[in-house]
Amino acid sequence: MNINNNNPITQPYSYPPNNQTYDDEEKVYQLLLDLTSVKDREHALLELSKKREAYQDLAPILWHSFGIMSALIQEIIAVYPMLSVGLSSHASNRVCNALALLQCVASHGETRSLFLNAHIPLFLYPFLNTTSKTRPFEYLRLTSLGVIGALVKNDNSDVINFLLSTEIIPLCLRIMETGSELSKTVAIFIVQKILLDDMGLNYICQTYERFYAVGTVLSNMVTQLQSQHSIRLLKHIIRCYLRLSDNSRAREALRQCLPEPLRDATFSQLLKDDATTKRCLATLLVNLSEN
Amino acid sequence: SALSSTSTTFNTTQGGSSGEDVSIGYPNLVNFLTFNASLPIFQAQPSLKRIVHFAIDRAIREIINPVVERSVTIAGIATRELVVKDFALEPDENKMRKAAHLMVQSLSGSLASVTSREPLRMSMTQHLRTLFSQNGISEQAIPEQAIFILVADNLELACSVVEKSASEKAIAEIDEGLAHNFLNRRKHRERTGQPYYDFAIYSSSRYPSTLPESLRLKPNGLALQQLRVYEDFARLPRIVAQEQTFAEENVPLQTAQAVDKFTQFLIE
């Protein structure tokens, strides 16, 4: 295990430092064991989700230790009955700590495909399907999107293949229209990653309905951006359009329906310090102007 | 079905087409429906309860198959993958089967219930509206607000039917999915008497054998304490509620109680 906290300045009372490392490891093992016990789980979830960055191989340990993955799924489904009656901040925080550990498993190269093979991402979809705007729900959706985001981050076509067999695109599209700015950003990041994959681009451009669904949401986002400036979202939107323009049929359609604010100077102020995105937009417009 | 005759007492056809399905899929549902005290019309005209029964029955039948199929498939895959990994050194296929059953029932039921809720709400509302209007019941007699209350009061019940169906089907799914894992254990025991060892799983990565002692699987199988994780699937809140008894049978049931009673009834 990679333990980063044997720094004598931040840990002045630990001597010799190796003992501190050893004690810390033992503490983490105990917390991991505690995840499988109903009565100790909540505390262990909180502690481990805080420490998760410090341990490089936390994900394989979570996966391969007895019962931990099953315990984490238990945490997920225990929240389902609350989705229709209201979610307390306490319940939301607790399940989000469990989701943070699942995000570890989704990010790690050694466990990602195991996580996919077990279809565990699908247990998060009921969370993405909620519409309540209260904080506990926003936080739950954002954290769940984070798990999917961690899956797509590494440009793995197995991940894209899996996601295309599920209803993730409509779920992301709805969040892109109605979510908080942060949720929108993660949702469009996922759609962008799907588009960047050849299979994903083909899938979305395969029928007019799919293209239209994505195009409509992107165009609505552009409209929203005129009043609520977000450079972060604008970057993703432009990249999505640019990628769509790689497909000949989508390019043809975009010639008609690219939102006007992307053609005129509406966003030039917002983009003035972002040369890369400006170049993307210029390329997009060139792609659409050629015949 | 024996009950189809009862449905001829009111008009159940949609758009006047003949040959419409007028059978009832869940005849016992009628005993568990909730009619709110704020809707006295159902006390005054008990025959209206049949319309409600029919509408809810139809809504359930409309959505149940795809929801159950999807939930059972996903729950079956997740359970199989995790149980095979966790029981890699467990020689007793009965322990493995028991854990798999508890998990797959809980996962499939939970998924089915959460997935069916909104579709059921919409479908129940739609069918109630249509059937009331086809039977000449005016909006003054049963306004939109009353339909809203009927749906809210009986939604949990409808979800529980879908949940129960998924839980039941999931057992067969996982037994099939794990059949060769069960068989391998039995054969291994009969042939060798040596500790069991799922080579494919245990040597799939360096981790299973290099985990810290306290987290590593032990030869000769799992401790009772460890199996509790799987038993906990049966202790999730919803299922605990079913174990409650009802001291005062004459008191009108709360929605949750009606659901529990109905679920019990389905199990019996």
Q: Do A61 and B235 touch (CB under 8 A)?
A: no
Which residues have CB under 8 Å from B15's CB, separation 6+? none
Given B107, B208, B238, which is nearest A73 (Cβ)?
B107
Q: Do A119 and B78 touch (CB under 8 A)?
A: yes
User: pLDDT tens across A56-72, in order?
Assistant: 889 999 999 999 999 99
Q: For residue B266, is pLDDT > 80?
A: no
Q: For residue A89, is pLDDT > 90?
A: yes
Q: Do B229 and A114 touch (CB under 8 A)?
A: no
Q: For residue A4, is pLDDT > 70?
A: no
Helices B224-231 and A68-83 pack at an angle, to 10 degrees, of 20
Q: Which two tokens stand for residue B24?
A: 């009832």
- The CATH superfamily of A1-154 is Leucine-rich Repeat Variant (1.25.10.10)
User: pLDDT tens across B176-191, in order?
Assistant: 999 999 999 999 988 8
Q: For residue B13, is pLDDT > 50?
A: no
- By C-alpha distance, which of B132, B121, B8, B134 is closest to B62? B121
Mean residue pLDDT of chain A comes to: 91
Q: For residue B59, is pLDDT > 90?
A: yes
Architecture of domain A181-291: Alpha Horseshoe (1.25)
Q: Do A74 and B113 touch (CB under 8 A)?
A: no
Q: Which two tokens stand for residue A210?
A: 């799919």
**pLDDT of amino acid B8:** 35
Q: Which two tokens stand for residue B163?
A: 């949940």
Give B132: exposed, middle or buried? Use CB within 10 Å, 0-12, 13-18, 19+. buried
**pLDDT of amino acid A219:** 97
Which residues have CB under 8 Å from A288's CB, separation 6+? A245, A251, A254, A255, A258
What ipTM is given for this predicted complex?
0.89
Which residues have CB under 8 Å from B67's CB, separation 6+? B112, B115, B116, B119, B162, B166
User: pLDDT tens across A91-141, in order?
Assistant: 999 999 999 999 999 999 999 999 999 999 999 999 999 999 999 999 999
Q: Is the peptide bond before A16 cis (omega within 30 degrees of 0)?
A: yes
What is the residue type of A290?
Answer: E
Q: Which two tokens stand for residue A221?
A: 């986002």
Rounded Cα distance between B54 and B5, Å, is 12
In this predicted model, which residue has the larger pLDDT, B157 or A56? B157
**pLDDT of amino acid A10:** 35
Which residues have CB under 8 Å from A286's CB, separation 6+? none
> For residue B193, which phi and psi values (nearest 5 degrees)?
70, 5
Rounded Cα distance between B255 and B268, Å, is 20
Q: Which of A57-66, A226-235, B17-26 has the lowest mean pLDDT?
A: B17-26
User: pLDDT tens across B197-250, in order?
Assistant: 887 877 778 888 888 888 888 888 898 889 999 999 998 865 333 333 333 333
What is the residue type of A6?
Answer: N
Mean residue pLDDT of chain B comes to: 83
Give B147: exposed, middle or buried? Use CB within 10 Å, 0-12, 13-18, 19+. buried
Arithmetic mean of pLDDT, A158-186: 96
User: Which residue ranges make up each domain of chain A?
Assistant: 1-154, 181-291
| Chain B nearest C-alpha distance from A73 (Å) | 9
Rounded Cα distance between B97 and B90, Å, is 11
Rounded Cα distance between A29 and B215, Å, is 7
**pLDDT of amino acid B214:** 83
Q: What is the 3-state secondary structure (H, E, C) of A37-48?
A: CHHHHHHHHHHH
Given A60, A61, A67, which is nearest B226 (Cβ)?
A67
What confidence category does residue B159 fall into, taking pLDDT thresholds of 50, 70 and 90? very high
Residue that the structure tokens 């006047």 belong to = B16
Rounded Cα distance between A96 and B111, Å, is 19
pTM for the complete prediction?
0.87
For residues B127, B132, B133, B134, the Cα torsion angle rounded to the nearest 10 degrees is 80
* Same fold: A1-154 with A181-291: yes
To test the contact with chain A by mutation, choose from B70, B95, B229 the residue with the greatest count of A C-beta atoms within 10 A, namely: B229
Arithmetic mean of pLDDT, A228-241: 95
Rounded Cα distance between A166 and A128, Å, is 13
**pLDDT of amino acid A41:** 96
